[in-house]
Amino acid sequence: MPNIRIDGIDFEAEEGWTVLEVARILGLDIPTLCYDEGLSAWGGCRLCVVEIGEGDDTRLASSCTYPVQEGLVVRTASKRVVRARQVLMELLLASCPTSKVIQDLAAKMGVQRTRFKADWEDCVYCGLCVRICEEQMMAKAIGFADRGGKLKITTPFDKTSDVCRTCGGCIYICPACQLRCEGSDPSEVVCGRCYNAVQPTCLDHYEDYKCYMGLKGDCGTCITEKPEKETSVKIKK
């Protein structure tokens, strides 16, 4: 059974485990987006990168796909790792600014803005839907097609699938198309209220949080993050 050292903790892991699994057992928090315990590891979002090795000869690798090996030395929160994750988070924010999952992840990591232009995409190509369809629903109805900027997730040859049972698993697991953050301008600022559960002022007026229910910016809470920007927000009485 391989012995590994992770953030200075020596640990005897089971053969076949990944670094991420060890970290989670030890309570070391590594952010993930494309990872799901019930599915095979994919290693696409790169958020779970950790620093592998010692001394000058280290490299970053995705912990969800990295198998434990005897003598492995891992740092899960080195400067290099944290800096890299923050830039990756900015890329995710630029890709899908309205995803509540992404907004919350960003808030958790302390990322408050993205320096990149927003693309307003509906998909981050994390592949969760493809894997749930194949591995849990045994359907293989969808997959990746094409590459580069034309990459898409679709049925074979874009034809209506005869193996899809419209189970909805793909939508259930999607981090991008569900639960929209409708804050004032999600591409420019991460307010972090939802994640931090700071009581937003909209609760003074409503029974529920309003920001992700399509009543864009009405409560005004998220606006406080950017007081210098003039807005025409009115608080409903």
From the list 97, 127, 175, 200, which residue makes contact with another protein (rule: CB under 8 A)? 127
Residues 60-99 that bind another protein (CB under 8 A): 60-62, 65-67, 69, 80, 83-84, 87-88, 91-92, 94-95
Do the beta carbons of residue 180 and residue 98 sit within 8 Å?
yes
Least distance in angstroms from the C-beta of 126 to another protein: 8
Which residue's CB is nearer to another protein, number 60 or number 213? 60
Least distance in angstroms from the C-beta of 87 to another protein: 4
Residues 44-63 that bind another protein (CB under 8 A): 44-47, 49, 59-62
Q: Could you identify the residue written with the tokens 């939802």?
A: 194
Distances 201 to 26, 66, 99, 130 between C-alpha atoms, Å: 37, 44, 22, 39
Least distance in angstroms from the C-beta of 27 to another protein: 24
115 binds another protein (CB under 8 A): yes
11 binds another protein (CB under 8 A): no
Least distance in angstroms from the C-beta of 196 to another protein: 25
From the list 38, 55, 149, 227, which residue makes contact with another protein (rule: CB under 8 A)? 149
Q: What is the 3-state secondary structure (H, E, C) of 1-52?
A: CCEEEECCEEEECCCCCEHHHHHHHCCCCCCCCCCCCCCCCCCCCCCCEEEE
Residue 146 C-alpha from the chain's centroid: 23
Distance CA 98, CA 110 (A): 17
17 binds another protein (CB under 8 A): no
143-145 and 9-12 strand pairing: unpaired
117 binds another protein (CB under 8 A): yes
Give exposure, 58-68, as e/b (b: 16+ Cβ within 10 Å).
bebbbbbbbeb
129 binds another protein (CB under 8 A): no
73-75 and 3-6 strand pairing: parallel
31 binds another protein (CB under 8 A): no
**Helix residue ranges per DSSP H, 29-113:** 79-95, 100-108
205 binds another protein (CB under 8 A): no
Binding site for another protein (CB under 8 A): 42-47, 49, 59-62, 65-67, 69, 80, 83-84, 87-88, 91-92, 94-95, 115-117, 124-125, 127, 143-144, 147-151
